Amino acid sequence: MGHTFAEKVLARKAGLESVVPGQIVTVRPDKLLTHDNTSDIARKFRAIGVDKVANPATHVIVLDHVTPAASETHAASHKATRAFVAEQGIEAFYDIGEGICHQVLPEKGHAWPGAVIVGSDSHTPTAGAFSAFAAGIGRTEAAAVTATGSIWLRVPETLRIVLHGTLPPRVSAKDVILHIIGDLRADGADYCSVEFAGETVRAMSIAGRMVLCNMAAEMGAKNAVVEADETTLDWLAGRTLWDTETLRRWAAEFRSDPDAAYARVIEYDVSDLAPQVAKPHTVDNVVPVTEVVGTKIDQVLIGTCTNGRLEDLEAAADILRGKHIASGVRLLVLPASREILLAAIERGIIADLVAAGATLLNPGCGPCLGAHEGCMAPGEVTVSTANRNFKGRMGSKEAFTYLASPATVAASALAGVIADPREV
């Protein structure tokens, strides 16, 4: 009997011949990703009574959630994080403006095939787009990893999702994953490792694969993964500590076996998929865009760890270039990283978006978590490229968030109401 990706990685890291779902293993993660919560994790770490972190090279720290600091409290938290970084000799620290942790992590070479990454953020599975085993944990757990360098993990069952067909114009990875979450529901992949496979996934860019893995968290996945191929290796070239041949060897080693045992295999054909929208207030409340066309909106958000990448900004610019957003609508644009912002400036994408009426915000999480840079008032409606639309998520609990692709939200910004991007 063969093994899944998750079984292979966890067996290797635990020093075991093989493992089975349900087994609990202790592993030493290659990377521990933390963000603005680092100051609180450092406080918990000190409470344990240890003075030095187990391994400074494990830590990747990115200030992204409320950056630049929105208040004195946030500023003090950032300051405490910088002090912890200096005191512990942590090199992989990325201060405000570098970008969102899930984007900066791979950009700076901290994700690779077969790596075990734990992060104190629920969207840590995003790094599965590089065939890393990446799972979210809480702050206390991050403090314990800081002190001990190790963590217990339950070997997950694996859900394999196979995608067939070519995506229609103006339909993207975001529409695919919204459709899947609407189908499988918010707990459809609870505790599971989710493998995304099939020719549709192989044809996707790294950005598209990151969208799938990022949002697998919204159906409860422990981690998500796309098999590493030449697209992955090209993207990673020159970013990690290893040469492409080494990465290619690891990609092959951790690839799921053809006879691996899956809890479930689900197949979708995306050839006729329409743009999808998640309605308030849950991510699995998904309908085709045609069912909500005409819904009045106040704010549009393009960015976040889900859809703040170059091809997302480009998709929006293709729709907005030379035009202007509807009066009464606020368009917020946040590139996911400094690298993406620079590339978008070079290509003229930023100029196109700003000329069309966009308010450009710094790379970071922005208003996604309702702390700053575009919170909503009672009764207001935002259509966003983010991954969550829970009640109160973006400010008022009486506000409404719809989730959609960059193309759909750009088309909506033009119209002042939710619009179908295929008709622009």
Partner 1 sequence: MQTRITGRVWKYGDDVNTDVIFPGKYTYSLTDPAEMAKHALEDLDPTFVKNVRPGDIIVAGKNWGCGSSREQAVVCLKEAGVGAIVARSFARIYFRNAINYALPIVTCDAVDSVESGEEITIDFTAGTVITPRATYTFPPFPPEVMAILEAGGLIPYTQQALGVKSNQ
Q: Per-residue x/- mask for partner 1, residues 21 to 60, rule CB under 8 A?
A: ---x-----------xx--x--xx-xxxxx----------
Residue 229 CB, nearest approach to partner 1 (Å): 28
Residue 276 CB, nearest approach to partner 1 (Å): 19
Which of 364, 388, 405, 414 is in the footprint of partner 1 by CB under 8 A? 388
Report whether 362 contacts 63 (CB < 8 A): no
Q: Strand runs (DSSP E) across 120-192, as ranges?
A: 133-136, 151-154, 158-164
Residue 344 CB, nearest approach to partner 1 (Å): 27
Closest CA to 383 of 413, 363, 344, 342: 413
**Sole window of 244-252, 307-315, 327-335, 366-374 interacting with partner 1 (rule: CB under 8 A):** 366-374
Work out whether 263 is an interface residue with partner 1 (CB under 8 A): no
Closest CA to 102 of 210, 229, 200: 210
Sequential DSSP letters for 1-47: -B--HHHHHHHHHHT-S---TT-EEEE--SEEEE-TTHHHHHHHHHH
Residue 173 CB, nearest approach to partner 1 (Å): 21
Residue type, 392: G
Which of 57, 83, 152, 237 is in the footprint of partner 1 by CB under 8 A? 152
Sequential DSSP letters for 84-134: HHHHHT---EE-TTSB-HHHHHHHTT---TT-EEEESSTTGGGGGGGT-EE
Which residues 335-354 are close enough to bind partner 1 by CB under 8 A?
A: none
Nearest residue (CB) to partner 1, 183 versus 269? 183
Q: Per-residue x/- mask for partner 1, residues 203 to 242, rule CB under 8 A?
A: -----------------x-x--------------------
Which residues 119-148 are close enough to bind partner 1 by CB under 8 A?
A: 120-122, 124, 136-141, 143-144, 147-148
Question: For residue 266, what are its two tokens?
Answer: 């689900």
Binding residues for partner 1, rule CB under 8 A, total 52
Vertex 338: Cα angle to 124 and 243 (nearest 5): 65
Buried b / exposed e over 277-308, threshold 16 CB at 10 Å, is bbbbbbbbbbbbbeebbebebbbbbbbbbbbb
Taking the alpha carbons of 22, 225, 217, 158 in that order, is the dihedral positive or negative? negative
Work out whether 369 is an interface residue with partner 1 (CB under 8 A): yes
Which of 266, 343, 371, 424 is in the footprint of partner 1 by CB under 8 A? 371
Task: Give me the residues that bind partner 1 (CB under 8 A), please.
Answer: 24, 36-37, 40, 43-44, 46-50, 65-66, 71, 73-74, 77, 120-122, 124, 136-141, 143-144, 147-148, 152, 154, 186-187, 190-191, 220, 222, 282, 284, 369-371, 375, 388, 390-393, 395, 397
